[in-house]
Amino acid sequence: MPPAPSSILAWEDDPGAPGSRRHPDAQPRPTLAAAPLPVSIDAKAPPAREFKVGSPEFRYWVAAEALARGAQFWGTILPKGTRWHSTNGARLPVELDEDVDLNAYYDRHGLHFFHDTVKGVTVYSGESPDVVCHELGHAVLDGLRPQLWDALSAEVAAFHESFGDMSAMLSGLQLQSLREEVLAETASRLDRSSRLSRLAEQLGWAVRQGHPDAVDRDCLRNASNSFFYTDPLKLPPTAPAATLSSEPHSFSRVFTGAFLNILAGMFRLQKKRDQAALLDTSRDAATILVTAIKTTPVVPTYFSQIATHMISADAATFRGRYRDALKGGFVKHGVLSLQAATSPPSPAPGAEDAPLARIALPAAHLGLPQELFVTAASHPKRFAVTGAAPDVGGTESPGHDDAAAAFLEDLVRRGEVDFNGHAVAETAVLAPKRRKTHEVVREADELVLVRRCIDCGVTLAP
Ligand SMILES: [Zn+2]
């Protein structure tokens, strides 16, 4: 008789806030080296056994299972030949526990996870499959559409965060046990708040203890929400979690909210509404999303461009089967104005791969001695669509230079820019924030803003 396959224990989506009665499930030993998206954890793999909750060996297998599940899922959806961004290497490096922080980030040299102790509970961001598959989503999207990395636009940055949350939801739905639980919890109405919609309950709890208004009441971010699109240029750079700001995690909730509505609408269209149909729905939604991302030009009004390209992708791939679900979700959250959603469907376009423009922005008000060069979301807009205005009709589309200037000012006001000594100390606002997403570097005679990482934490203290 062949030996029994070695099994490990893993959380499905999250350990849950303290007091949660969740228990880990047995899973087969995950394979991290599988093509086309292999992953490499920085620690030696313990033997494949069912370790005790709370042990480092248990946490290793939880992270490994989530990484393997997410990478395998996206590997079957992405266009052939999609690889990690080259600076990650052939295998995506993962540091499971880098330092003390309530955080996780992706920086083109892999994924980084942390731990911190709050009210006697030590929370490891790498122990939450929600957080792991969110971070993995950043790396997947960077491999698929590297132009998004540097494009200085609030909507582009917010879409990266939304893709992380969509990656967490879609990767979770690859587990039959979670599909069954979510269908039971929502009475098959997937847009209700559930294990699926609530992202990172445990990390959300930990952040809430120190910063009660920084996260949702029951998790880090909830995709079951009623946020309505607002031009991010008209939003403040930060806000309590209950309202919308132009900060990427906050603003991402508009698109993620629409996506959950769309998933729910797509599932309602299945002949038999069971867990197998939910698996098919998750794969179809991911296919529509990825097809759209590949072809959507990088523009300041990125949400509405992606939305229109998703409707085109559905027409081309599924003969418009999901059109009403897509329109319904996008209109409900204002991602598309009613006019944009009711215009006749356009043919599926080819990819827009022109390099983005580098533009000079005035920077004296930031304390810099000369203008600052930035990468703008400068692709020509393909579809003349916009998000909804709060009263009637659509919003105005800002130019890529105005969108870049506004996002730059947001970044400085949130303390996200490391001036690297190039700013005039007497006039610049030099925020003490520990991990900054952007930095100013000198290239020949020019000062240039480059992205350092996509930081997913909500730690507000330095
Ligand atoms: Zn993120």
Cα of 164 vs centre of ligand 1, distance in Å, is 6
Please report the pLDDT score of residue 4 as a whole number: 56
| Cα–Cα dist 88/38, whole Å | 11
Please report the pLDDT score of residue 341 as a whole number: 84
| Cα–Cα dist 110/91, whole Å | 9
Q: Tell me the three state secondary structure of residue 102.
A: coil
- Which of 295, 310, 342 delimits the end of a domain? 342
Please report the pLDDT score of residue 393 as a whole number: 87
| Whether the Cβ atoms of residue 12 and residue 167 lie closer than 8 Å to each other | no
Cα of 147 vs centre of ligand 1, distance in Å, is 17
Please report the pLDDT score of residue 12 as a whole number: 98
Cα of 274 vs centre of ligand 1, distance in Å, is 31
- Does one domain contain both 287 and 409? no
Nearest of 297, 291, 309, 308 to residue 386 by alpha carbon:
308
| Cα–Cα dist 192/324, whole Å | 19
- Does one domain contain both 327 and 369? no
**Token pair of 136 as six digits:** 């993995």
- Does one domain contain both 362 and 230? no
Cα of 387 vs centre of ligand 1, distance in Å, is 23
- Does one domain contain both 332 and 381? no
- How many domains would you assign to the chain? 2
Burial 200-227 (b: 16+ CB within 10 A, else e): bbbbbbbbbeebeebbbeebbbbbbbeb
- Does one domain contain both 323 and 187? yes
- Does one domain contain both 366 and 394? yes
Residues shown for the chain? 462
The strand pair at 92-95 and 417-418 is best described as unpaired
Domain, as residue range, for 317: 7-342
Cα of 458 vs centre of ligand 1, distance in Å, is 10
Report yes or no on 299 lying in a domain. Answer: yes
Q: How far is Cα of residue 169 from the mean position of the Cα atoms in its chain?
A: 10
Please report the pLDDT score of residue 2 as a whole number: 57
Helix (H) or strand (E) holding 104: strand 104-106
- Does one domain contain both 120 and 193? yes
Q: Would you call the peptide bond into 462 cis, given omega within 30 degrees of 0 as the criterion? A: no
Please report the pLDDT score of residue 462 as a whole number: 43
Cα of 438 vs centre of ligand 1, distance in Å, is 15
- State the sign of the Cα–Cα–Cα–Cα dihedral 158, 372, 296, 106: negative
Report yes or no on 119 lying in a domain. Answer: yes
**Token pair of 108 as six digits:** 């083109």
- Which of 342, 376, 393 delimits the end of a domain? 342
Report yes or no on 350 lying in a domain. Answer: no
Nearest of 352, 244, 365 to residue 292 by alpha carbon:
352
- Does one domain contain both 94 and 149? yes
Cα of 349 vs centre of ligand 1, distance in Å, is 29
Per-residue pLDDT of the chain (462 residues; tens, 9 = 90+): 555 568 999 999 999 999 999 999 999 999 999 989 999 999 999 999 999 999 999 999 999 999 999 999 999 999 999 999 999 999 999 999 999 999 999 999 999 999 999 999 999 999 999 999 999 999 999 999 999 999 999 999 999 999 999 999 999 999 999 999 999 999 999 999 999 999 999 999 999 999 999 999 999 999 999 999 999 999 999 999 999 999 999 999 999 999 999 999 999 999 999 999 999 999 999 999 999 999 999 999 999 999 999 999 999 999 999 999 999 999 999 999 998 888 766 666 677 788 999 999 999 999 999 999 999 999 988 888 889 888 888 888 889 999 999 999 999 999 999 999 998 888 888 877 778 999 999 999 999 999 999 998 765 544
Report yes or no on 400 lying in a domain. Answer: yes
Instruction: For the beta carbon of residue 435, count every other beta carbon within 10 angstroms.
Output: 18
Cα of 425 vs centre of ligand 1, distance in Å, is 31
Orientation of helix 248-268 relative to helix 323-332, angle to 10°: 150
| Whether the Cβ atoms of residue 204 and residue 262 lie closer than 8 Å to each other | no
Task: Answer left, alpha or beta for residue 456, where phi above 0 means left and psi between -120 and 50 means alpha.
Answer: alpha
**Token pair of 167 as six digits:** 């990656």
- Which of 342, 369, 400 delimits the end of a domain? 342
| Cα–Cα dist 328/12, whole Å | 30
- Does one domain contain both 141 and 289? yes
Cα of 157 vs centre of ligand 1, distance in Å, is 9
Cα of 262 vs centre of ligand 1, distance in Å, is 21
| Cα–Cα dist 11/129, whole Å | 7
Please report the pLDDT score of residue 375 as a whole number: 97
Q: Which amino acid is at 162?
A: S
DSSP string covering 401-418:
HHHHHHHHHHHHHTT-EE
Cα of 453 vs centre of ligand 1, distance in Å, is 10
| Whether the Cβ atoms of residue 161 and residue 257 lie closer than 8 Å to each other | no
Report yes or no on 36 lying in a domain. Answer: yes
Cα of 159 vs centre of ligand 1, distance in Å, is 10
- Does one domain contain both 415 and 270? no
Cα of 332 vs centre of ligand 1, distance in Å, is 24
Report yes or no on 17 lying in a domain. Answer: yes
Q: According to DSSP H, which parts of 216-348 are helical?
A: 248-268, 275-295, 302-318, 323-332, 338-342
- Does one domain contain both 256 and 363? no
**Token pair of 384 as six digits:** 């003349």
Cα of 94 vs centre of ligand 1, distance in Å, is 15
- Does one domain contain both 291 and 416? no
Say what the pTM is.
0.96
Report yes or no on 460 lying in a domain. Answer: no
